[in-house]
Structure 1
Amino acid sequence: MTSPFASWYHSWIAALRIARRDAWRAKGRSALVLAMIALPVVGASAVDLTLRSAELTPQQALSRQIGAADALIEATGLDAPILQRPDGRSYAPVGGYEKYRPDPEKKAAPLKDAVPAGAETVQMSTSGVKVHTRHGLLDTQLRELDVHHPFSQGIFTPLRGRLPGGPGEVIATAAFLEHSGLYVGSSVTPRGSTAPSTIVGSYELPSDLRRDELLALPGTLLAPIDKALAATGAPGLNVTDSFLVKAGGDGFTWNMVKEANAKGALVLSRAVVAHPPADSQVPLYAQEGKARFAGPGLNVGRFTEQATVATVVGLALLEVCLLAGPAFAVGARRSRRQLGLVGANGGDRRHIRAIVLSAGLVIGAVAAVIGCSAGVALTIGLRPLLEEKIGIRFGGLDFRSLELLGIAVLALLTGLLAAFVPAVTASRQTVLASLTGRRGIRRANRVLPLLGLLAVAGGAAIALYGSRYRVSPSLVAAGSALAELGVVALTPLLVGLFGRLGRWLPLSPRLALRDAVRNRGRTAPAVAAVLAAVAGTVAVSTYQHSQDVQARHEYVAELPDGAGLLSVNDNSAHQEVPTARELLSRTLPVAVRADVERLVVGNPNCEEYGTGAGCGRVELIVPKEQRCPLFESEHGPADFPPAEAKKLRQDPRCAMSSRRPGSSFKTIVADEKLLQVLAVTDPGSVAALKAGQPVSFDRRDVKDGKITLRLVTDPVAAQKAAATHAELPGQDKVLTVHQAPEGVESWGVGLVLPPSAAKAAGIATAPVGAYFSLEKAATTEQRQRLDGEIDRLGADVRVRIERGYQGESTIGVLALAVFAGLVTIGAAGIATGLAQADSEADLKTLAAVGAAPRVRRTLSGFQCGVVALMGVVLGSAAGILPAVGLRLTQEREQRSLLLHAVEMGYSTPDEPLYVPIAVPWDTLAGLLVLVPLGAAVLAAVVTKSSGALARRAAG
């Protein structure tokens, strides 16, 4: 007697053999389904291997930061002991920043003092500076390090040439050579240096391939530049020093780290990162609270990113199942005679289901093997390009066998799920209907629409709950998928409702619509497949468009539209400003140019808050009674109870300054042309400037019609006074001003002094730039020409032109729309093509009764167009829900981040959070037109003009 297991085993073996034979016989259809299932597997396996390989282990990351040393000791610039996290990512002074007050007369302890006794060290110094290149000036990091010492191994990777051997020799990153137009053997001169250096080799930083950097031996690059700058009176370099340390024994322990912290140094230790101390042994956590370093502010975008990935992946798998489903359904109908013979020879429904399911199993298994192999091979082949794209070298190819196996199993399940519904449908066919080819008449399923409605409502509720009340990417993805499955379940009912529109259509589309309604078993899977493709497109497009609307709302213009600003970022380059102004007028279509200058005290080459000899400045003094108490207190807002602080923030004195992000000047010297460029039309302000009277745009600066300018000549005393909230020392100049009417937009400028007023007050000025307006938009060629001319000046001159919100993701959204449109049209073509193949008998019947070729083409085109149109309409509705869920997830995350920032005292919400949900109507309109039209034209083109008469099936 045969056991049930043996019977089950042999029946499935037979089913697999039949499925394999049928798949080989119908190579075209099998290849189509195989490709649909394998493509996501290729992408998933490639992404998995890429992300895992790019994710460095802690020791790999440390080797790229500290080389072969035990630790890296860095200066913090604080003149007090600090407390730090074990991983060295955050630190705070003992007592917290709220109580920390720097002492201008006290210098930080030498970094060398933080090195343990007997430890071996190698010094590393870095500074940012502009370097002369073939194109002009390039922001570059200069680094000094003994590249021949074993400690440096791992920090950089030599590529070509040799290492520097002494003064006058440097090596450059490959990114610097690419951006600068230089090469190994070229001479390079950092700005301020009196002698060029020769590039003797190239290298790369494994964790930052895009960094522009020059590397030299200690004492050969930074010190000569500093000396040359000091000779010209210019400020020196801002050099950051650090030490690579070899402590020996157990390495640089946590106790050593705390000893270095006591001397104001920050430590990144290999031993501490590998074996971090308990939270109770971290003084920083006891002082600040660990939550301060683990709140949502440190995980910006994490939940939204997870929700987006989970939703897109879920919808992609659902789309594959629904796209492959019609293919299996067509295959089952093409094999119905064979399935009927199985039933006639004693096979029951489970055997027929097994045969159809085996087709999904066979194709899914092959797709899994091919997809995973292709994904791995693709990652290995594209590894250099991928590393360049993400800007990080892999630590090695990290194969996660379980993850790749999970992706393969997912492909197998996808094939089974895609074949499930066709298997059930095929098993319900009677033997007589299968052998004769008759499909019979099936009553509409009344339970399926009810289940569909419940699935739509339940899925929407789950997605909204997962995004609104409990931030969970899994719930958002599961709810969106369930709602889309509900729409799929409603598809037969909705197809019937679409059929009622046929009475108003011409003959061919009416016949196509009635045929689609009459054959719902054939139409519904095709519509569902198009629905899934369109839903994914609409979901992603809606999400991207909503983000663009939010960014447009949050965008703050720096100048009136079409206006611009030429400015120097380095005060020592003020001699080049007049030449730069003339280049501007010659190159761009300038309508009005307003030359502007800055007020100067002492050395005009000093930075705004320089502390060198002769470095003074001019401060606009706000009257005491008009100052904000929140910022006058010793510890700022922390000195006030929360309720009082909240009330004071509503005080006009504490309102944020009208100075806009990116605006360069608060007090400026210019004539009335400036108001013309800034679109300030107040007649009183224009008349005042013409008459030589200053104009103020901030009422808090003015008292009794006058403003006070204080000439600060002792920068050290000024810094000390600022630290103790004392009055700045200096000489006051009181000027009568014209107060501009409230509400006039000054675009960040607070006070405008005409040149005659500055001269009368005895305050020197220096050129700093020019505001300008254009007659017409500057072309790309004009901008490039101007940038080239300014680069040849060798001055740090910046030109900005306000063009309004441009949308940083415009190109990405366009690429997404094109790609999604092609995928959607392709899905529509596949689904409707399969439906057309299934209705081939109808076309042959038309040929038999004498229908002209044009009629057959037209009918075929309208059949596919009707299916595609129904899929697009339903998919557009289904795709809105995931986008809504993603945006609500993002809103909750941003709100949590904002509340955390307020609780920690980092910021105060100045306006309500704005996270809109905007539907891209232009994208939907394009889908509604292009997809059905493309499917109809494609079907009409591929339909044969003359079809052979169908042969009568053998009895």
Structure 2
Amino acid sequence: MSAYPNGWRASIRIARRDAWRFKGRSSLVLAMIALPIMGVSAVDITLRSSHLSTNENLTRQLGAADARLADGGGGPIYQGLDDNQYVSVDDKAPWTGKPTDIAAALPAGAKWLKDDSGSAKVNTEHGLLDVDVRELKAADPMAQGIMTLKHGRFPAGDDEVAATTYFLEQSGLHVGSRLTVRNMDRQYTIIGEYELPSELKQAQLNARPGAFLAPLSEALARAGRSAPEASASYLVQVRGGFSWKMVEAANTKGVFVTSRQVKLHPPANSEVPLYVKNPTQATSYTSSNTQLLGAAATVGGLAMLEICLLAGPAFAVGARRSRRQLGLVGANGGDRRHIRAIVLSGGLVIGAVAAVTGTALGLALALALRPWLEEFAGQRFGGFEARPLELAGIALLAVVTGLLAAVVPAVVASRESVLASLTGRRGVRRSSRVLPVLGLVAVALGVGIGVFGSAVTDNRYAVAGGSAIAELGVVALTPALVGLFGRVGKWLPLSPRLALRDAVRNRGRTAPAVAAVLAAVAGSVAVATYQSSSDQEARDGYTASMPYGAVSVTVGVDGIRELGRVRSAVEKDFPVTARADLARIVVGKKTCDVWESNPGCGIANPVTPKANKCPLDGSGQFTEAETRKWRKDWRCAGGAGSGPSSIRTDSGVLVGGDGVLRGLGIKDPAAEAALARGEVISFDKRKVQGGRITLELIPDNSVVPPAGKELTGPKKSFPVYSAAAGTKSYGIDAVIPPAAAKAAGLRTVAYGSIFSTQRLPSSTERQKLDGALADLGVQASTYVEGGYVSGNSSLLLALSIFAGLVTIGAAAIATGLAQADAEPDLKTLAAVGAAPRVRRTLSGFQCGVVAAMGVLLGSAAGVVPAIGLRKSEQYLRMKYYRQALADGVTPELPHVPIVLPWGTLAALLFVVPLGAALLAALVTRSRTAMARRAVG
């Protein structure tokens, strides 16, 4: 009865003593299994910690309150269950612009706390800085959780403010500094430093209610200036919570409510009037979360597969290094069952230790990288959430994987003769002919499943499963591929040729090591490809308002006289290389600011001929085929000048010379020559007909035309030069030379400039300029084009970091195991008189060859799941696109690019193999003592 347990007990004891005796080899095997466990555990903890629960999100929005009441825009509203999802009950009701009386919607007996937000210009150590101002009793228990105090305290008096860490960093001020506000005589003392957990990079000041915004508005009113827009909301506590019925009652008064109770326990869609009236509003598009979860699931699955691949070669090497001991067991009467038990026990012992070690290191790694990831993401994570069941499952998988990975080495060791084990003879092994065929079938099957999951459905599990099967197929093909790599050896020098031939001759050792590096690299490449593609999508969706680094400065009517001094201030404080002055057409009885619609203020509109109008701009519904057709039509593609512009214009028309073209980054000698001839430069050929462009002069833009009619006025026609197709003009439709405007009898006024710069102005330089402009007393609109800023999430960054660590670590450990297995060959080199340099060089190239083959195959295998995820995302976008068409909307076609991370691939293909080779050469001893043949 007890023979079987006693046999296993003895096997485990032998395995434990063997592991302790050969600490170096055991450490490598342990590290091989613990490394992916560390990475997966760290990703799991980071993912769980970064994903805020609904309650944590509500705490950051509401603090300890039950609800937040905000202005819904005037008039009764229908409110949905998503943030800021509401529509007016009466779509035809005119908007009054008057603020809603939020206090009237407060329930009887409720406790409330007012939360006002606005903005101000404050003086800093460098100049002037725009800052958000929030009047909230942050020390009140109801507001706890909205702001995190880091130093000092929150304001208790009307002359005190607290500031965010980001504001203090940008302004050069500190706790204890005196703060002065532009246009205000009073000063404030900074008595505390805090941060907004979800907006770490926001410059904000906190003051007591009524202590900042109201005095600022009064001061600006006395100076004849309008105060910046401010918003008000109320934090409310109600006995029993803020129910959905209470939300609907507040909606009837034009108040939008964010309720904790409704968020945690939402009503059915049938109880939400907005969804009953418009069912499509109930479908929320959550592509970002789906993308992140899909990427995490796919990379997590590949990481789990990697554990299996890394453990196999580890135990295979360990078993071969213990051949003599296993032979002694057989020589002393042990049968195959005992030898299998000893090898399996080694897998169990080291797997268990690796599971514990990897989980502990994962916890430490996630904790160490958390502050850096939070700063990168610009928000704090939730609590440090390590879910015991998930971590135990990962650890258990490592133990089971370690045990299963030892099965094949155990069977091989048990079948080896006692004589071969004691003498160390390796024998001759032939490569399997069945394995490559199975590998090809698995690759084809996995790719087929992935294509089906991405092109026919949006099932990311199919993509992950297909990718895993395809990667297993590549692993099965690895021995055959290693043989193919050997054919390039004839073109290599001596040491790399010997290393490559040794790798091919010992495929049983090389193939598992290559597979280990392959799996690690595949995960890194999958993450990097998905991340690069997502980043390119966001980059393509970004529309610049100016060339990179360019600065536009425009002034209102009151600042025209000071325009020269404004230009001088910009040239003094910014690294300016060129300047182009701007003017605009003035229509009407008086000179008005841009887009001013007071009586007497006119506008000059470029006329679009009827034949050039896009059919999609009219009324009517279109099928998907019709929409695709018209989207390709030049009339619906948008003009070159379409898009946002930082230059304030009435209708996209500027008056200026060829310097304006250079300021917009347009290098077109023909266009400059046309301006010199007095021709208008048009960037939108829809406005051109018969070689001319027409401006319609509306004398009074404040007049409301009758229903179905448009304002009309005199027309001026100009000869036109159409810019080349694809010319980016950043929202400018046409540039009129000053001479042509004067000849047409148009009145113009200078109002700004475009500045080209050597580099992007820094925050300090911007504050200096704002201070200088404020000293001039000029209200100037300044814009600096900083280009696209990557918005990759902390989760994708964490996956990239952890996958990269696993890649480098797996390459080093796998090649180290290969070197340990090749120790007899190195000793043979020393025995025949090889120089120490040859031993080091050969060892380095052996590791480099293994790493290079693994990286090359892993790079190809890692691209597959990333492409599958992007294709499934495209399928999902197309589904929403067709749904929008069915609802009568004509949206843009989805754009889901696939971009290969060439920088990451280059680093993996060159840095990892080179680093592994150099490291192996450095740690290899030049000389070694001769050893008995039996030790091999």
Report TM bin, short chain: 0.7 to 0.9
CA–CA separation in structure 2 for the residues paired with 1:378 and 1:924:
25
Mapped pair 1:71 → 2:50: no
Partner of 1:597: 583
Mapped pair 1:658 → 2:653: no
Q: Is the 8 A contact 2:31 2:354 kept in 1?
A: yes
Partner of 1:790: 769
Aligned partner of 2:127 among 125, 133, 136? 136
Partner of 1:145: 136
Q: What CA RMSD, in Å, does the superposition of the two structures yield over aligned residues? A: 4.3
Q: Is the 8 A contact 2:176 2:189 kept in 1?
A: yes
Mapped pair 1:93 → 2:77: no
Q: Is the 8 A contact 1:706 1:735 kept in 2?
A: yes
Partner of 1:241: 232
CA–CA separation in structure 1 for the residues paired with 2:844 and 2:259:
70
- After superposition, give the CA deviation of every residue in 1:175-202 in whole Å (9 maximum; x if it has no partner): 3223222223333344444543333333
Greater Cα offset, 109-118 or 682-691:
682-691
CA–CA separation in structure 2 for the residues paired with 1:503 and 1:458:
35
Mapped pair 1:83 → 2:83: no
* Aligned pairs for 1:313-352 within 5 A: 313-352=300-339
What's the offset of the Cα at 1:387?
Answer: 5.1
Mapped pair 1:915 → 2:897: yes
CA–CA separation in structure 1 for the residues paired with 2:852 and 2:333:
43
CA–CA separation in structure 2 for the residues paired with 1:301 and 1:624:
41
What's the offset of the Cα at 1:310?
Answer: 2.6
What's the offset of the Cα at 1:24?
Answer: 1.0
Q: Which amino acid aligns with 2:162?
A: I
Change over 3 Å in CA distance of 1:442–1:372 after alignment to 2: closer
Partner of 2:273: 283
Q: Which amino acid aligns with 1:708?
A: E
Q: Which amino acid aligns with 2:814?
A: A
Mapped pair 1:472 → 2:459: yes
Change over 3 Å in CA distance of 1:815–1:196 after alignment to 2: same
What's the offset of the Cα at 1:490?
Answer: 2.2
CA–CA separation in structure 2 for the residues paired with 1:850 and 1:681:
69
What's the offset of the Cα at 1:75?
Answer: 0.4
Greater Cα offset, 493-502 or 357-366:
493-502
Q: Is the 8 A contact 2:115 2:136 kept in 1?
A: yes
Partner of 2:22: 26
Q: Tell me the percent identity.
A: 51
Mapped pair 1:184 → 2:168: no
CA–CA separation in structure 1 for the residues paired with 2:591 and 2:216:
17
Q: Which amino acid aligns with 1:271?
A: Q
Aligned partner of 1:292 among 276, 281, 284? 281
Q: Which amino acid aligns with 1:883?
A: A
Change over 3 Å in CA distance of 1:254–1:699 after alignment to 2: same
What secondary structure sits across from 1:39 in the alignment?
Answer: helix
* Aligned pairs for 1:396-475 within 5 A: 396-475=383-462
Q: Which amino acid aligns with 2:249?
A: E
CA–CA separation in structure 2 for the residues paired with 1:524 and 1:644:
55
Change over 3 Å in CA distance of 1:233–1:700 after alignment to 2: farther
What secondary structure sits across from 2:229 in the alignment?
Answer: coil
What secondary structure sits across from 2:232 in the alignment?
Answer: strand
CA–CA separation in structure 2 for the residues paired with 1:120 and 1:31:
62
Change over 3 Å in CA distance of 1:342–1:582 after alignment to 2: same
Change over 3 Å in CA distance of 1:474–1:139 after alignment to 2: farther
Mapped pair 1:875 → 2:858: yes
CA–CA separation in structure 2 for the residues paired with 1:641 and 1:67:
48
Q: Which amino acid aligns with 1:582?
A: S
Q: Is the 8 A contact 2:602 2:699 kept in 1?
A: yes
Partner of 1:493: 480
What secondary structure sits across from 2:406 in the alignment?
Answer: helix
What secondary structure sits across from 1:740 in the alignment?
Answer: strand
- After superposition, give the CA deviation of every residue in 1:410-448 in whole Å (9 maximum; x if it has no partner): 332343344343233222322232233222233432322
What's the offset of the Cα at 1:385?
Answer: 5.7
CA–CA separation in structure 2 for the residues paired with 1:482 and 1:525:
17
Mapped pair 1:369 → 2:356: yes
CA–CA separation in structure 1 for the residues paired with 2:425 and 2:13:
27
TM-score by length of 2: 0.86
Greater Cα offset, 27-36 or 540-549:
540-549
What secondary structure sits across from 2:241 in the alignment?
Answer: coil
Mapped pair 1:227 → 2:227: no
Change over 3 Å in CA distance of 1:271–1:505 after alignment to 2: closer
Q: Which amino acid aligns with 2:700?
A: V
Q: Is the 8 A contact 2:554 2:752 kept in 1?
A: yes
Q: Is the 8 A contact 1:583 1:789 kept in 2?
A: no
CA–CA separation in structure 2 for the residues paired with 1:829 and 1:59:
43
Q: Is the 8 A contact 1:234 1:606 kept in 2?
A: no
Mapped pair 1:735 → 2:716: yes
Q: Is the 8 A contact 2:376 2:794 kept in 1?
A: no
* Aligned pairs for 1:332-731 within 5 A: 332-377=319-364, 388=375, 390-393=377-380, 396-502=383-489, 508-544=495-531, 546=533, 564-568=550-554, 577-585=563-571, 592-599=578-585, 608-609=594-595, 616=601, 618-620=603-605, 622=607, 625=610, 628=613, 637=619, 656-663=638-645, 664=647, 665=649, 666-678=652-664, 696-698=682-684, 700-701=686-687, 706-712=694-700, 714=702, 717-718=703-704, 726-728=709-711
What secondary structure sits across from 2:234 in the alignment?
Answer: strand
What's the offset of the Cα at 1:547?
Answer: 5.2
What secondary structure sits across from 1:301 in the alignment?
Answer: helix
- Structure 1 residues not aligned, in runs of 5+: none
Mapped pair 1:40 → 2:40: no
Change over 3 Å in CA distance of 1:321–1:104 after alignment to 2: closer
What secondary structure sits across from 2:133 in the alignment?
Answer: strand
* Aligned pairs for 1:815-826 within 5 A: none
Partner of 1:14: 10
Q: Is the 8 A contact 2:31 2:813 kept in 1?
A: no
Greater Cα offset, 252-261 or 177-186:
177-186
What's the offset of the Cα at 1:356?
Answer: 1.8
Q: Which amino acid aligns with 2:866?
A: A
Q: Which amino acid aligns with 1:110?
A: D
- After superposition, give the CA deviation of every residue in 1:94-124 in whole Å (9 maximum; x if it has no partner): 26xxxx2452557465333333455444332
Change over 3 Å in CA distance of 1:112–1:838 after alignment to 2: closer
What's the offset of the Cα at 1:266?
Answer: 0.6
- Structure 2 residues not aligned, in runs of 5+: 775-779
Greater Cα offset, 596-605 or 172-181:
596-605
Change over 3 Å in CA distance of 1:907–1:418 after alignment to 2: farther
What's the offset of the Cα at 1:617?
Answer: 5.3
Mapped pair 1:255 → 2:255: no
What's the offset of the Cα at 1:70?
Answer: 3.3
What's the offset of the Cα at 1:650?
Answer: 7.0
Partner of 2:929: 948
What's the offset of the Cα at 1:591?
Answer: 6.2
Aligned partner of 1:210 among 176, 201, 208? 201
Aligned partner of 2:261 among 254, 271, 282? 271
Q: Is the 8 A contact 1:72 1:268 kept in 2?
A: yes
Q: Which amino acid aligns with 1:326?
A: P
Q: Is the 8 A contact 1:620 1:701 kept in 2?
A: no
What's the offset of the Cα at 1:55?
Answer: 4.2
CA–CA separation in structure 2 for the residues paired with 1:41 and 1:238:
52
Q: Is the 8 A contact 1:699 1:739 kept in 2?
A: no
Q: Is the 8 A contact 2:587 2:697 kept in 1?
A: no
CA–CA separation in structure 2 for the residues paired with 1:759 and 1:313:
68
Aligned partner of 1:124 among 99, 115, 120? 115
Q: Is the 8 A contact 2:126 2:768 kept in 1?
A: no
Change over 3 Å in CA distance of 1:761–1:75 after alignment to 2: farther
Q: Which amino acid aligns with 1:465?
A: F
Q: Which amino acid aligns with 1:363?
A: I
CA–CA separation in structure 2 for the residues paired with 1:319 and 1:766:
68
